[in-house]
Amino acid sequence: MTGSAYLNCFYGILYRELYRFVQQRSRFLSALVRPLLWLVVFAAGFRAALGVSIIPPYETYISYEVYITPGLIGIILLFNGMQGSLSMVVDREMGSMRVLLTSPFPRSYLLICKLFSIALISSIQAYVFLFIASWFDINAPLAGYFYLLPACLIAGLMLAAVGLFISSLVRQLENFAGIMNFVIFPMFFLSSALYPLWKMREANDWLFQVCQVNPFTYAVELIRFSLYAKWNGSAFMVVAITTILFVLAAVAGYNPRMGLLGRKATGE
Amino acid sequence: MKHIFLSLGFLVFAMQDLSAATLYVSNEKDNNLSLIDLDSLEVIDTIEVGERPRGITFSKDFSKLYICASDSDSVQVLDVGSKKIITDLPSGEDPEQFALHPNDRHLYISNEEDAIVTIVDTESRTVIAQIDVGVEPEGMAISPDGRWAVNTSETTNMLHWIDTSNYQLVDNTLVDQRPRHVEFTHDGAMLWASSEIGGTVTVVDVSSRKMLHQLSFKIPGVNQDRIQPVGITLTSEGNLAFVALGPANHVAVVDTTSYEVIKYLLVGRRVWHLELDNYDKYLYTSNGVSGDVSVIDVNKLKVIKSIKVGRYPWGLAIKP
């Protein structure tokens, strides 16, 4: 198998994801409307709530809209990552992945291509969201928009990998609401996306501890710091390690000899 | 030879331009001044002064800084070079705000508890006049031509017009509740006065001493009773005015032609006073409760940084 064959395979998977992204306009719109509703409606009531403390990477007082913008980029990546990966449940049964998974390419390579495609599409949506947010006077330094891309890609990879791992555990995607309730919402609410952690600690120390072990918190902080052209080494490390662990777990999950799928299929 | 002199001249100009200006901030609760380097935007020194320092202003040559040390009942004179208090001026009781006459010699001081304005000669260090004004005098400004000294009395709700040629109170202008601060436009044609409880800013025509316009403020998400205007400053071109809105934690940016508020900028808690640099590039705000100074980029109308200083920062003055 040559390098160009691998590249062709990647292009194929990326093209398919892009094609699906362009075709499913309602999915794209809902992915944008969701964070915009948070920004325009939810945040309006809390506009002055945060002007009491300066937290890095900010150098002055900020409005609530400014605070939650990185968290809303996070929710775009989270929803898109989960939806993209969970579509594998259907895709592996009757979609193009069914064909690809039987191809001579290593399964791990195919899955990583899929994850990277999802992360790239999520990042495009994040930039469209930021463009709309700029109409509401939410702007970052110019350098921040460049630093944001690698941060979005790695955070998008992590969240897609989590979704892929979950998809390896479920046989049929009948209850996406269950995934929403037990995975997406807890990850989102128990993080620094909506409230800074010091506020969470004031409210409840137990909740603060949960937020601290939630990898989504670190994804949001990596995005937040990058958007303001600042480096957050600890957030990067947590996101990178979590990404590697979940990619390995998902690859194992999709291995017919090791994974749950294989065991289920063989009735073990 | 001429070129050498020109080059040297340019070099000296460039060096002056490069040397950093310093912002002096009086910390009401800490009895000291914080000095902020305006290049690095960091506190570089702290100077101990009298009790409860509030209003501060430089002499014309920036060699002296006058400080209202309210609880020490004196106006202190700081030698800027040695950073030492060199003398106390007889100020009357509880001096809060003051203004230096364009003659660089006479200080007009509000004495909050005695309901008087004291005029002090800074050279002879003597009181040259005391003028009865309304209850709780506070804000003080002198017209650019030096003709008028205007004082605000917080409880009487008036602007008191003092003729500086004979130190007589010649007129009063009624404004909204609790006037705190007054500021002349650079051409001296108008006077802007903030009313803290009234929540308004009144623009007064100086020649008739009558109200021209009244501004009010409305910040989405902020309760109306928290909007309490205090400090005011105007750009040298006079196109923009900035109004500190106290516990609303915002500075209002006002177009002086239309009197419309263009923008509200979020700063620290309980913003008291404002100071523009000489180039109208940056505006500095003293935020009393949060104990910091916010820096606003005037061109972009954006708050770029907040710098921690002492407790209850109050007065601001820039040494170029």
Mean pLDDT of all residues in B80-106: 90
**pLDDT band at residue A85 using 50, 70 and 90 as cut-offs:** confident
Tell whether A229 lies on the interface with B, counting CB pairs under 8 A.
no
Residues of A in contact with B221 (CB under 8 A): 44-48
Structure confidence by residue, pLDDT tens digits, B254-268: 999 999 999 999 999
Query: Residue B98: beta bridge partners?
Result: B109
For chain A, the domain total comes to 1
- Sheet containing B250-255: which strands, arranged edge to edge? B232-234, B240-244, B250-255, B261-266
In the predicted structure, residue A171 carries a pLDDT above the cut 70: no
In the predicted structure, residue B18 carries a pLDDT above the cut 80: no
pLDDT of residue B17: 46
Read off the pTM.
0.81
**pLDDT band at residue B12 using 50, 70 and 90 as cut-offs:** very low
Task: Locate B69 and state its tokens.
Answer: 């040390």
Residues of A in contact with B266 (CB under 8 A): 48, 51, 60-63
**pLDDT band at residue A266 using 50, 70 and 90 as cut-offs:** very low
pLDDT of residue A18: 83
Please state, in angstroms and rounded to a whole number, the distance separating the CA atoms of residues A233 and A238: 9
In the predicted structure, residue A242 carries a pLDDT above the cut 90: yes
In the predicted structure, residue A221 carries a pLDDT above the cut 70: yes
ipTM of this model? 0.72
Give residue for tokens 């407790």: B311
Task: Locate B264 and state its tokens.
Answer: 């509200």
Percent of chain A with pLDDT over 90: 31
DSSP string, A191-216: STTTS-HHHHHHH-HHHHHHHHH-HH
Q: Give the nearest partner residue to A47 out of B221, B267, B268, using CB atoms.
A: B221
pLDDT of residue B10: 47
Q: Give the nearest partner residue to A60 out of B219, B221, B306, using CB atoms.
A: B306
Residues of B in contact with A60 (CB under 8 A): 266-267, 294-295, 303-306
**pLDDT band at residue A260 using 50, 70 and 90 as cut-offs:** low
Task: Locate B165 and state its tokens.
Answer: 């040629």
In the predicted structure, residue A127 carries a pLDDT above the cut 70: yes
**pLDDT band at residue B90 using 50, 70 and 90 as cut-offs:** confident
Percent of chain B with pLDDT over 70: 94
pLDDT of residue B4: 52
Q: Which of A48-62, A138-152, B150-164, B258-272 has the lowest mean pLDDT?
A: A48-62
Domain extent, residue A39, equals 3-265
In the predicted structure, residue B43 carries a pLDDT above the cut 90: yes
Which among A47, A53, A60 is the top mutation candidate for probing chain B, defined by the most B β-carbons within 10 Å of its own β-carbon?
Answer: A60
Residues of B in contact with A48 (CB under 8 A): 219, 221-222, 249, 266
Q: Give the nearest partner residue to B306 out of A45, A54, A63, using CB atoms.
A: A54
pLDDT of residue B185: 95
Q: What is the mean pLDDT of chain B?
A: 90
Mean pLDDT of all residues in A202-207: 84
User: Is the Cβ–Cβ distance between B301 and B262 less than 8 Å?
Assistant: yes
Q: Give the nearest partner residue to B220 out of A47, A51, A61, using CB atoms.
A: A47
**pLDDT band at residue B13 using 50, 70 and 90 as cut-offs:** very low
Instruction: Measure the CA angle with vertex A96, ends A91 and A98; round to 5°.
Output: 65
Q: Which residue of B has its CA nearest to A137?
A: B302
Q: Does B9 or A257 have the greater pLDDT score?
A: A257
pLDDT of residue B189: 94
B303 Cβ neighbours under 8 A, 6+ residues apart = A60, A61, B265, B266, B267, B294, B295, B296, B297
Closest chain A C-alpha to B265 CA, distance in angstroms:
10
Look up residue B246 and give its DSSP letter.
Answer: B
Q: Which residue of B has its CA nearest to A48?
A: B221
Q: Which residue of A has its CA nearest to B219?
A: A48
Structure confidence by residue, pLDDT tens digits, A30-56: 878 888 888 887 777 666 555 556 788
Q: Nearest CA to B292 among B96, B8, B25?
A: B25
Q: Does A93 or A250 have the greater pLDDT score?
A: A250
| Cβ contact A61–B222 (<8 Å) | no
Backbone angles phi, psi at B270, to 5 degrees: 55, 75
Q: Does A205 or B202 have the greater pLDDT score?
A: B202
Percent of chain A with pLDDT over 70: 86
In the predicted structure, residue A197 carries a pLDDT above the cut 90: no
Closest chain A C-alpha to B264 CA, distance in angstroms:
11
Please state, in angstroms and rounded to a whole number, the distance separating the CA atoms of residues B148 and B164: 6
In the predicted structure, residue B142 carries a pLDDT above the cut 50: yes
Mean pLDDT of all residues in B192-219: 94
Mean pLDDT of all residues in B284-303: 94
Q: Nearest CA to B25 among B49, B60, B59?
A: B49
Closest chain A C-alpha to B303 CA, distance in angstroms:
7
Task: Locate A44 and state its tokens.
Answer: 């309006």
Closest chain A C-alpha to B250 CA, distance in angstroms:
10
Please state, in angstroms and rounded to a whole number, the distance separating the CA atoms of residues B287 and A48: 16
Q: Which of A35-39, A260-264, B65-69, B113-117 has the lowest mean pLDDT?
A: A260-264
Residues of B in contact with A62 (CB under 8 A): 266
Q: Which of A86-90, B97-101, B199-203 has the lowest mean pLDDT?
A: A86-90
| Cβ contact B266–A54 (<8 Å) | no
| Cβ contact A63–B249 (<8 Å) | no
Contact map slice: A 63-92 vs B, CB within 8 A: 63
Q: Does A51 or B193 have the greater pLDDT score?
A: B193
